[in-house]
Chain A
């Protein structure tokens, strides 16, 4: 019975996703055509002779109507063909496959950092409510949300790479290269997680069953960990989903500050290089991934919190 309900929920969510994905692909497709200039000339890059232009028009079907072009684009995208980069003449899908895993790794590491920092801070703040620690944690999390990522990145680079020379200032290759970027990304979202954790913990701690457990004389620690934390995980899970998206966005800035070979920098450089197929393809991949992650988070949420399934 429960399985059926979950299945229905999931199916509904997936169905709701389809128009979103369609819209996202439409948005990516539209990019090349919104830019001023002849798309064929843009795609031809440096060697825009008449024959090359004609060939490109034919290859990309630019002489057909826009809706027809979109359908072709969609069909190609579904099959993994995201076009050819103007600059490097390599398939966009290859370029993305080279860079995206790096960003995912970074985002994941950042979530770990922010979870560690945030959950601990939030629990401490909630259990020592209204104490100095609480205030410090609250203020700290606010500061974390407010600090611009690129400034924090530059600061960390200045202190840890330039002055102390503990970590490299950029590039990739070893685990050490990921430390500063992950810290910078994680610090920003740890603020959000800390506040979320604190609020959820406070609410849970007020619940009857916790007070009952307390009254029964069960140790404070046990109360926290066994009863409170479990229920706190639910809202925190959603926050993770949101923070993943935030980290993807923040990754763009972090990758630029630390010269990392991720998809964020691929997009930024693609914009500078007027390499629209790359920008289109990368945006599509990022948005689709984000939507998928949100779906997964929602499903996990539904799994843990039965109340949601009946929405």
Chain B
């Protein structure tokens, strides 16, 4: 009896001694130091947050700049440069209490004056690209004291914090803006965990640790974001160790890479919708039958299943399921016969169109355009495909109607506020026609405008969601776009790297908590 007890005791003691060693490595100590190489497919279009128009730039900005409030990985709003905030009863005034003792990378202090400077800038004459996020909503800002700032709105706006969490709400050093002016994009100065070292356009951006970061000195010494256009090259870089983190992995590589124990491959849905915008000011695209015909011609299911290997989903409209405010509606089925009928009715049995597409900006964007080109050819629409570098593409698709040859062009939209009103207003509202806004197809519909405005002014969630649903219904019927898919974001991380931030807004970036094993 005693011997059995004794052996049990010994075994238990041994077990207890061994257990901690066999436990998960979650409790591993973060390693200080190291350079992390992040390979992306497109160069940032700007490093000035108020002028950055697309994700490659936004990602990099988020490592160097911060907002008053930010999104957690689960898309919850949390404090960042503001410790707390209070909205007045009428919803017209928001008072923010700012974090104390924060400094910009150039040594100047972050305070209420800097926040006021931010609002003055976006609302003023400079008119940076992202001004339209704020100008319809914000009246101005007042400095109460060094660490308190009051923001006054033009009307109550339920999604106000969302637009403050948008990448364009990053607070830039006023001194830097005054010094560099238009060249701020080449000399970014923020409060973030990493500070700017250099940007070799088209090749890489280098950032280094900000030792004075208020959230604690970051673990990583340096972060290098490399622009590697070729999908294969990025994958090879991950496999050879030349890159620790890559995005936009071709879907064919996923099964093979998943078998490799050195990496984690994550394919997760995003808030992005891909579509082909139509210039409705050019004949015959002003005829809704033509636009609907184009929609019937595309075999979305085949695209999702074969081209993307199910790493995407079909979307009925321009709003993807992950956006707050998404309505489950029926979209256009694949019906080439109906497509040909509509084209014949509209008097366009043999249409020739110009199809533009970027290359390498979105996963398989160019192949997607070619697949659409193929589907269009099957209904008698001959599309000539051409491509441009992303920055030039953005510029070429934003020129005014009288000057542009564009007809059909592939675009994606992912509201960095995570909700469907911002997923609709900038791209389809009549007040946002290019070149002022992002309504690059010049679509105008009073019904849609009204629905969006209703959603903006709605005071209850029910009203807001109802209005958004109506907006999506109108959009589907009017077909300002050829609706396509919502792609997943596919991120490959070396298992040596921890703490990578993956926002479902297709934004992947590193924080002070990220670290890398030696």
Contact = CB atoms under 8 A, between A and B. Distances in A.
Interface of A: 41, 45-46, 48, 85, 87-90, 95, 98, 161-162, 165, 168-171, 259, 261, 265-266, 269, 272-275
A171 B201 contact: no
State the majority secondary structure of interface residues on A: loop
B202 interface: yes
A241 B477 CA distance: 65
Interface stretch (B4-12, B13-21, B234-242): B234-242
B236 A273 contact: no
Given A46-B394, A272-B387, A274-B388, A171 B226 contact: yes
Contacts, number: 71
Nearest to B396: A274
B236 A46 contact: no
A80 to B, nearest CB: 20
Contact of B230 (A88, A170, A269): A170
Contacts of B398: 46
Contacts of A48: 399, 435
A45 B53 CA distance: 14
Contact of A46 (B200, B201, B233, B395): B395
Given A169-B240, A261-B202, 6 more contacts: A161-B240, A165-B239, A168-B236, A170-B228, A171-B226, A274-B396
10 contacts: A41-B403, A87-B392, A89-B182, A89-B185, A98-B200, A161-B240, A259-B233, A272-B392, A274-B388, A274-B396
Contacts of A274: 388-389, 392, 395-396
A280 B341 CA distance: 49
A261 B200 contact: yes
Contacts of B435: 48
Q: Give the top 7 A-B pairs by smallest Cβ distance, nearest first.
A: A169-B236, A272-B389, A273-B389, A170-B233, A88-B201, A46-B395, A273-B392
Interface in B167-209: 182-183, 185-186, 200-203
Contacts of A89: 182-183, 185-186
B281 interface: no
A274 B399 CA distance: 14
A87 B239 contact: no
B236 A275 contact: no
Contacts of A46: 391, 394-395, 398
A34 to B, nearest CB: 18
B300 to A, nearest CB: 29
Contacts of A269: 202, 389
B240 A171 contact: no
B232 interface: yes
A113 to B, nearest CB: 23
A250 B508 CA distance: 36
A210 B389 CA distance: 60
B233 A95 contact: no
Contacts of B186: 88-90
A21 B240 CA distance: 45
B121 interface: no
B124 to A, nearest CB: 15
B240 A168 contact: yes
A224 to B, nearest CB: 44
B113 interface: no
A85 B236 CA distance: 31
Given A165-B240, A273-B392, A95 B387 contact: no
A41 B435 CA distance: 14
A85 B43 CA distance: 15
A170 B238 CA distance: 12
Contacts of B99: none
B454 interface: no
B103 interface: no
Nearest to A167: B240
A58 B287 CA distance: 43
Given A89-B186, A98-B200, A261-B203, A169 B396 contact: no
A298 B203 CA distance: 37
A48 B396 CA distance: 11
A266 to B, nearest CB: 8
A169 B237 contact: yes
Interface string B37-76: 0000000000000000000000000000000000000000
Interface string B64-94: 0000000000000000000000000000000
Contacts of B399: 48
Contacts of B229: 259
B186 to A, nearest CB: 7
Contacts of B233: 169-171, 259
Contact of A95 (B182, B201, B395): B201
Nearest to A177: B242
Contacts of B237: 168-171
A269 B393 CA distance: 12
Contacts of A261: 200, 202-203
Nearest to B199: A88
A154 to B, nearest CB: 10
Interface string B330-369: 0000000000000000000000000000000000000000
A230 to B, nearest CB: 44
A42 to B, nearest CB: 10
From A41, A170, A272, name the one whose CB has the most chain B CB atoms within 10 angstroms: A170
B388 A273 contact: yes
Contacts of A45: 395
A29 to B, nearest CB: 22
Contacts of B185: 89
A208 to B, nearest CB: 57
From A90, A266, A272, name the one whose CB has the most chain B CB atoms within 10 angstroms: A272
Interface string B212-246: 00000000000000101110110011011010000
Contacts of B391: 46, 87, 273
A85 B230 CA distance: 24
A24 B300 CA distance: 50
Contacts of B226: 171
A117 B225 CA distance: 38
A173 to B, nearest CB: 8
B194 to A, nearest CB: 20
A109 to B, nearest CB: 20
Contacts of A98: 200
Nearest to A88: B201
A89 B287 CA distance: 41
A274 B396 CA distance: 10
Given A87-B201, A89-B183, A90-B186, A169 B232 contact: yes
Contacts of B389: 269, 272-274
A64 B412 CA distance: 42
A6 to B, nearest CB: 43
Contacts of B203: 261
B235 to A, nearest CB: 9
